[in-house]
Amino acid sequence: MALASSVVGEEQPMEQRISIVTLGVKNLAVSRRFYVDGLSWKPVYEDKEIIFFQTGGMVFALFLRDKLAEDFQANPAAFGRAPMALAYNVRTKNEVDPLMRLAEAAGATVLKSARQATWGGYSGYFADPDGFAWEVAWNPNWRMTPDGSIHIPAPNKKSS
C-alpha cells in the first residue's frame, strides 16, 4: 500500500528538543548490568537488541551498535570513542561523590574524580561499560526544578 508522500506545506521549525539519546553498545547484557542492576534504572521496554528507559520527557536507549550502524547506514569500523558526554546534574554538592562511588561500584571507570570546576561547580566524570562519558555535576548557577529539569538563567544584561 503506497503511502502518500508528505505534503509540502508551511515550513515547520525544528523545535529545540531532543526526543531520544541512543548509545550504541557492544553487549546489551553488560549494559543492562550497569544501568539496570547497577544504577537501578528501570527499562520501559527491552528486547534482544534494544533497551528503552523513560528519562523525564525523553527516552534514553541502549541499542546494539551494529544495529545502530545499520540503522543510520554507517560503517561500524569508523566508530571510535564518542566525542560527546552526557551529564547528570544534582541538587547539592554533597550528592556528587556518592554518585561517583555508586557508578564505580556498578562497574563504571572513573575518568576524572570529582573536583572543583573552573566554572564554579563541582563535578567528576565516569565512563559506562562502552566508554561513554557521563559527568556528575553540581552547578550552583543553574536552577533545578523538583522533577530534575535544569534551566539556565538568561544572562544579566550589562548596564550600558
In the region spanning residues 37 to 56, those forming contacts with a copy of itself, defined by CB under 8 A, are 39-42, 44-45, 52-56
C-alpha cell at 145: 526544578
Q: What φ, ψ does residue 37 adopt, rounded to 5°? A: -75, -40
Residue 137 in contact with a copy of itself, rule: CB under 8 A: yes
The residue within the footprint of a copy of itself, chosen from 22, 30, 33, 104 (CB under 8 A), is 22
Q: State which amino acid sits at residue 96.
A: V
Site string for a copy of itself, 67-106 (x = CB under 8 A): -xx-xxxx-x-xxxxxxxxxxxxx--xxxxxxx--xx---
- Provide the phi-psi class of 73: left if phi over 0, else alpha when psi is between -120 and 50, else beta: left
The residue within the footprint of a copy of itself, chosen from 27, 120, 140, 148 (CB under 8 A), is 148
C-alpha cell at 155: 544572562
State the minimum distance, in angstroms, from the CB of residue 160 to a copy of itself: 19
d(CA 23, CA 59): 11
Q: Which residue has the cell 558526554?
A: 85
State the minimum distance, in angstroms, from the CB of residue 159 to a copy of itself: 19
Please state, in angstroms and as integers, the Cα–Cα distance from residue 103 to each residue in 26, 108, 128, 129, 147, following that order: 19, 5, 8, 11, 21
How many residues bind to a copy of itself according to rule CB under 8 A? 87
State the minimum distance, in angstroms, from the CB of residue 107 to a copy of itself: 13
